[in-house]
Amino acid sequence: MTDRPLLLLDVDGPLNPFRSRLSGLRGYTSHRMWPEPWLARQRPGSRRARRGVRVRLHPDHGARLTALPYELAWATTWMHQANEMISPHVGLPGDLPVIEWPELFARDPDGLFWKTRPLLEWAAGRPFAWVDDMFTHRDRVYATARHDAPCLLLHVDPRRGLRPADFTALTEWADRL
């Protein structure tokens, strides 16, 4: 355990700008992958299931993320497969802690993003920054009111992925703790 804050990373959106219309994002490489949560939503044997999902990753992101003053962990539907499939392509260690979601895409009774409650429970009162493309203002308000330590919910545009300004924001927030 460390006294550094947690950096909770989503894959799709922040690391994989999956909504980008550009096939060749500068610095990104394209990969075909078959993550279990994605495969579970495909028709078995379909062309799409055989081809896999296209994942765009930037090989420099791992070095930039590990240089930040955080303890890294996965907060993604990829769960443990992020260590196996994503880490090698971005230069992250293959043994990062993983939030194991009790139920993927569960409907929240208060309209929160389905990851919010389990993520706060997993953080267990530690300061954290959460990098994702799906939470809303409601999740920010909820996290700030319910979490006993400082937290930053950093929204990343899923068309652009992590940008230099995001790394700056993460560094500045951690420095203020």
Distance CA 7, CA 174 (A): 10
For the chain, give the number of residues. 177
Report the DSSP pairing between strands 29-33 and 53-57.
Answer: antiparallel
pLDDT digits (tens, 9 = 90+) for 154-165: 999 999 999 999
Domain parsing of the chain, residue ranges = 6-19+58-176
Fold of 6-19+58-176: Rossmann fold (3.40.50)
Averaged pLDDT, 121-130: 97
Q: How many CA atoms lie within 13 A of 124 on its CB side?
A: 3
127-166: per-residue pLDDT in tens? 999 999 999 999 999 999 999 999 999 999 999 999 999 9
Residue with the two structure tokens 């495909």: 42
pTM above 0.75, yes or no: yes
Q: What is the DSSP annotation of 77-132?
A: TTTTHIIIIIHHHHT--TT--B---SSTTPPPTT---TTHHHHHHHHTT--EEEEE
